[in-house]
Chains A and B, each alone.
Chain A
Amino acid sequence: NAGVTQTPKFRVLKTGQSMTLLCAQDMNHEYMYWYRQDPGMGLRLIHYSVGEGTTAKGEVPDGYNVSRLKKQNFLLGLESAAPSQTSVYFCASSYSTWVETQYFGPGTRLLVL
């Protein structure tokens, strides 16, 4: 099992460019999450999904969109990147409810110039 994988590992964007981050899990988990991690801020939830075809907003959703067309994949999109979106992005998944252990990917480091 690969667990949770994220693509790409690192990306540099110019302000206004768009991109999609891909998260894939092979554990048949229902719940998937996107977090961003900034120094001194801990992890903040961007969006999450409780099953295929469903998505919901987290704590900091502005400027991001998500899609969960397949159970194993959760995509995070930035339509028009801004320097404030420079961060490390983590995807996670859990079997069912929020109290289940979340399994994290290795992260994507994004720099917006």
Chain B
Amino acid sequence: AQSVTQLDSQVPVFEEAPVELRCNYSSSVSVYLFWYVQYPNQGLQLLLKYLSGSTLVKGINGFEAEFNKSQTSFHLRKPSVHISDTAEYFCAVIPNSGYSTLTFGKGTMLLVSP
């Protein structure tokens, strides 16, 4: 079975500062990786996903993530955050072989202040 660890439950940052949200996973097989965002009082929406190819994945709203197989990580980054990026961010993983379900991490709350 696979698992996801989001190392920080909350990340406070000032507006226009860079941010990195960390995600590590555990799996005995190769995986696909996702980042979803949940704005206050809304459902989740996809930010980006890694299926294959380039390990640097660009998503919506200026976010990007890098897949590092040796470190089993998929950290999310943004060079300059806005107040509107305040939200909860979820990393998710699914094995790319066989049948399984999507496993979500527990989430990281990004708090952007002026």
Q: For chains A and B in complex, what number of residue pairs have CB atoms within 8 angstroms?
A: 48
Supply 11 further A-B pairs (C-beta < 8 A) apart from A43-B44, A102-B46, A106-B41: A41-B106, A42-B90, A42-B104, A59-B101, A92-B44, A98-B100, A98-B101, A99-B49, A99-B94, A104-B44, A107-B43
Determine the distance from Cα of A59 to Cα of B2 in the docked complex, in whole angstroms.
Answer: 13
Judge if A77 is at the interface, Cβ distance under 8 Å. no
Taken together as a complex, chains A and B put the C-alpha atoms of A104 and B49 apart, in Å, by 16
B57, chain A: closest CB distance, angstroms: 14
A40→B10 CA distance, assembly (Å): 11
A101 and B49 form a contact (CB under 8 A): yes
Q: A51 at the A/B interface (Cβ < 8 Å)?
A: no
A-B CB contact pairs (8 Å), 6 listed: A40-B106, A98-B102, A102-B46, A104-B44, A106-B42, A106-B43
Distance in angstroms from A35 CB to nearest chain B CB is 8
* Residue tally, chain A, CB below 8 Å to B: 21
- Taking beta carbons and an 8 Å cutoff, which residues of B are in contact with A? 9, 32, 36, 41-46, 49, 51, 90, 94, 96, 100-102, 104-107
B44 to chain A, nearest CB (A): 5
User: With the chains together, A94 CA to B26 CA distance in Å?
Assistant: 24
Give A58 to B102 CA distance when docked, in angstroms: 10
Nearest CB of A to B55, in Å? 17
- Chain B hits for A4, CB < 8 A: 43
Q: Does A74 contact B (CB under 8 A)?
A: no
Give the one of B42, B44, B45, B49 with max A CB within 10 A.
B44
Q: Name the residue among A42, A99, A101 with the largest chain B CB count within 10 angstroms.
A: A42
